[in-house]
Amino acid sequence: MNRDLVHSLNQNTNRYFTAWVITYFLIVMRKLKFILKVYRFVMVILQRRKVLLCFVLVCLILISTITMKFPYKSPHPWNRSENDTVCLDEDIVYIAGRLKCQNSQSLKYLSYQPPGGGWNNQRVAFENAVVLAKLLNRTLIVHPLAPHQEILQLKRRRRISAGYEIYNMLPKDKLLPLSRVIDLKLLSKLIPVKEFTSSHAEFQNKYNHLRWARICHNGLLGTWVDVIPKEEHKEKWRLLRRHMGHSLPANKEIPLYRRICKEELKHFETNATGGRPVWGIVDELLHKTEDLIYFAEGSLYNRELLFFDKETVLNTHEWIMRFIRFAPDIRKRAMAVLETMEHPFSAIHVRRTDHPSSFQMKQDFWLSHLKVREALNLTKTLYVATDERNKTWFQPFRDAGYNLFFAEDFDDQLQPQSIKNAVVQDMLGLCEQLICAHADHFVGSYYSTFTMYIKRLRKQFTWTKGMLRKPYSSIVWAGSRDVEKE
C-alpha cells in the first residue's frame, strides 16, 4: 500500500511539475507577446514623429524664407531697431548697413552747414564731412538737399548772393532728404550716419542741448591740412606756401557768397602781412571733447584740403569711391532708361542758362569733340542732358546724323513717385548724371560741376585702387604732380 501511495505521489508530482512548466511557459510567451506589441507601437510612434519633425522643419524653413524676402513694415510712426526695441525716429542711426536705435546722448557727432548753390556744391561739403567724420571717429549728421531751382528763385527774389543764408531760408517741404539721393546704408558701412530731414533752423534748435564746437574757416582765405608741419620741415612748408600762392585768390577776388567767417576775414584784411592761415585737422579737431563739431556758414564747401600723409590720402579716396553712391531709387530709374535706350550710345551735357560761360559756347564745341572720338562710327544714338528748353538749338546735331534723346522721352522711367514738385528737377538731374556716366562716349560742359561729377562717376565704374587726381576729390596729396603744376 505504501508503495502504491509513493508511486501515486510520484506520478502526481511529475504531472504537477509538467503543468507548472507549461503554465510558466505560457505566461512568458504572453509577456513576450505584450512586449512585442509595445515595441511595434513605439516604432510606429517614432516613425510618425519623424514625419512630424520633418513637416515642422519644412514649415520653419518656409516661414523664415518668406519673412526674409518680405519683411514686415510697421505703419506705426515709431520704428524698430535690430534688437526689436521701440525706437523714436530721432534716435535712429545707420550703423554697418542697418538702422539701429542709439540714444543721442551717448554719441559724438560731426555736422555742417550746407552751402548755397546746386547739388554739386552741397555734395563737396558733404563728402568733406564724410572724410572728417571718419578721421575723427564721429557719427555724421547729414542734411537734406536744397533744390537748385528753389535757391535760384530765392536769390532773384531777395537779390542776394547764393550763400548758405539762402539754404537756411528753405522750409522742410522744399527740401529733399539726403537718403533719397545718397545710399546712406552703404555709407554707414564706413561711418555711423544720422539723417536730419527738416530745416537747418530746426536742426540747430533740436541739438541745442549738446555742447557745440563751432568751426568756421574760409577755404579761399587759408588752407586745411592733415597736420601742421613743424618749423624744421622746410620742404613741407615750401609745398604748402607754393600751393596757397597758386590756388588761393586775392582777398578782393573772393566772391560775395564765399565771404564767410567774417571775423577771420576781417582779421586777415587788417593783418595781411602775416601770411595766409593754415588749419590742422589733427591739431585743431582731434582732441575736441564737445558733443558736436559743427562747421558753420557753409565752410566745408572747400575744394582742396591738402594732406601730407600719402597713405591717408589713398584711404580717403577709397572711402569716397567705395561708399558714396546714389540711392537705390536713382540707380533703378537710370537703369530703366539704359535698358530702353540700349548700348552703345553717346551722351553730352549742355549747360546753357545759368552760368557765365554758357552762352559763349556754340554747338561746334560738342560736335567737334564727338567727331574726334569718332562717336558716329559707333552709334547714332545721342542722349542730351541739358537745361536748354528750346530744342531747335540742337538741330545741328540732327543734321550731323545723330538721333537725339532727352529726359522727356523717358517720362515713364524718370518721373519720380511721391516727390515734392520743388525737387523733381533736381532728382531728374541726378538720374541724368548716372545715365551720362554710362555712355560709351561723353562730352560735357567743362565749366560745370555737373559735368565734373559725371566724369567722376565714369571713373568710379572702373576704379579699383589708387590716387584720384583733381578735381575728382577735394582731398589732395601735397606731393602730387597736380600740386607741383599749380
d(CA 254, CA 244): 14
Residues 6+ apart with CB under 8 A from 362: none
Q: What is the pLDDT of residue 410?
A: 93
Q: What is the pLDDT of residue 304?
A: 92
Which of 92-96, 159-163, 213-217 has the largest mean confidence?
Answer: 213-217
Counting residues of the chain whose pLDDT is more than 90, the rounded percentage is 50
Is the predicted pLDDT of residue 105 greater than 80, yes or no? no
C-beta contacts of 391-400 below 8 A and 24+ residues apart: 393/352, 393/363, 394/350, 394/363, 396/363, 396/364, 396/367, 397/363, 397/366, 397/367, 400/367, 400/376
Residue 89: pLDDT band (50, 70, 90) is low
pLDDT in tens, 180-214: 999 999 999 999 999 999 999 999 999 999 999 99
Residues in a beta bridge with 92: 101
Which of 149-163, 262-276, 379-393 has the largest mean confidence?
Answer: 379-393
Is the predicted pLDDT of residue 340 greater than 80, yes or no? yes
Sheet bearing 305-307, strands edge to edge: 278-280, 223-225, 305-307, 475-477
Lowest-pLDDT choice from 156-165, 271-280, 321-330, 460-469: 156-165
Q: What is the pLDDT of residue 79?
A: 42
Lowest-pLDDT choice from 172-181, 353-362, 405-414: 353-362
Is the predicted pLDDT of residue 486 greater than 50, yes or no? no
Average pLDDT, integer, range 263-275: 76
Kindly report the average pLDDT of the chain as a whole number: 84
Is the predicted pLDDT of residue 38 greater than 80, yes or no? no
Q: What is the pLDDT of residue 72?
A: 47
Q: What is the pLDDT of residue 48?
A: 65
Q: What is the pLDDT of residue 119?
A: 85
- DSSP per-residue codes, 251-310: GGGS-GGG--SHHHHHHHHH-GGG---EEEHHHHHTT--SSEEEE-TTTT--S-EEES-H
Q: What is the pLDDT of residue 81?
A: 40
Lowest-pLDDT choice from 29-33, 112-116, 191-195: 29-33
pLDDT in tens, 246-262: 889 888 888 888 889 98
Instruction: Determine the 3-state secondary structure of 36 from DSSP.
Output: helix
pTM of the model: 0.78
Provide the residue type at 32 as one letter: L
